[in-house]
Amino acid sequence: MLHPEKLDPIERRDLPESATRAIHYLAAEIAVTVGATPEIAATLSHPVLLRHIDAKYGRLPDVVHEAMRPPTTAAGVAVISRLPVVEDALGPTPFNWEEAAAWAGDRARRSTSLELDIALLLLARCAGEPFGWQGQQAGRLVNNILPTPGHEHEQSGASSTTLLSPHTEDAFHPGRANLLMLGCLRNPDRVATTVSSIRQVELDAAQWKLLRTARLPILPDISYGDGFDDSTAPPVPTVGADPDGPTLRFDPAYTPLNRADDQFRCAYQHLAGELERVSRTTALAPGELLLVDNDVVVHGRVPFTPRYDGTDRWLKRVNIRLPQRRRAVGESAEDGYGQRVVAPFSTTRGQHP
């Protein structure tokens, strides 16, 4: 039997201070050059900004590029430390992502949020191809994850007082991220992120076989809106096969398990229990970045009580595509519920909906 204390530890990749300074100076240089305007900050996909990111990320030290490689252990996650975050320069935690995006383009607020957005895009570009979603946070390439009044009990990044169930990011879509970056700006209450890897669970042969069959659909989460119909949605496998080991596509909060037979539900629930058994928690500190292999790992968040006083937890999220990775051929037939990617760095535009 596996036991959490005997599992591969979460990788830690500590950047030297010289690398932190290099990230900070390059992001600040780009921010000054393009200007902290609402137009630039709105989606971060302005052509001028993108040209600077693409032309200059290669100037970062080799140690930064090395730190941004995909996680290498079965745990499927790595914590990268010493990002250029100065909490006192952030300003208060916004009340919602719209406010966060607006403040990033407001020079009067003197917030460093836009510089941090640019820094995260530089790091994401070192790893692969950062992208956003037209239907989520208005297509912004760097999402703001913070507790939002009225959304406390949702299964979304805006929630707080409820457990955010372990899930594959954007499991419903064939163009979902290969890597997910979660960068911590503020976390005074040490709210923990949970992570679990499919490569550390134990299932019997019958369970593996059942979970590799396409039985149920996965619907878009509430951040994309509501009203998605599961009656005509295509079923997808929960577990996939890969030369390096099994992959995972898992989001029980948005999977209509009541439509499955008892045998499949039993296998699915066993998988959920195994993912809970091998779950780890990591409470990110300001300046730490969690790099998650989204093809292998599910992540969630423990409940917490928001204060809405400007001091609450504030993360930034970036989706990253690895063009060298290929997913199951059958996924190419999925329409992703019409959700479109914003992929300005993509070398294979049009591959996914």
64-119: per-residue pLDDT in tens?
999 999 999 999 999 999 998 988 888 999 999 999 999 888 877 656 888 999 99
Cα four-point dihedral sign 97, 162, 284, 135: negative
Instruction: Indicate the range of 106-120, 150-164, 294-308, 331-345 predicted with least confidence.
Output: 106-120
Place of tokens 């992570």: 195
Q: Are 169 and 312 in contact (CB under 8 A)?
A: no
pLDDT tens digits, residue range 201-222? 999 999 999 999 999 999 999 9
Taking the model in full, what pTM does it have?
0.94
Q: Are 146 and 313 in contact (CB under 8 A)?
A: yes
Looking at residue 351, its pLDDT comes to 42
For residue 198, give the nearest of 264, 255, 242 by alpha carbon: 242
Q: Are 186 and 352 in contact (CB under 8 A)?
A: no
Helices 17-34 & 113-127 angle (0-180, nearest 10): 110
Name the percent of the chain lying above pLDDT 70. Answer: 95
pLDDT tens digits, residue range 277-301? 999 999 999 999 999 999 999 999 9
**Mean pLDDT across 294-319:** 97
Q: What is the mean pLDDT of the chain?
A: 92
For residue 277, give the nearest of 160, 194, 182 by alpha carbon: 194
For residue 74, give the nearest of 246, 271, 203 by alpha carbon: 246
Looking at residue 48, its pLDDT comes to 95
Q: How many Å apart are CA 98 and CA 121, to the nearest integer?
A: 19
Q: How many Å apart are CA 195 and CA 79, to the nearest integer?
A: 12
CA dihedral 330, 228, 265, 258 (to 10 degrees): -140
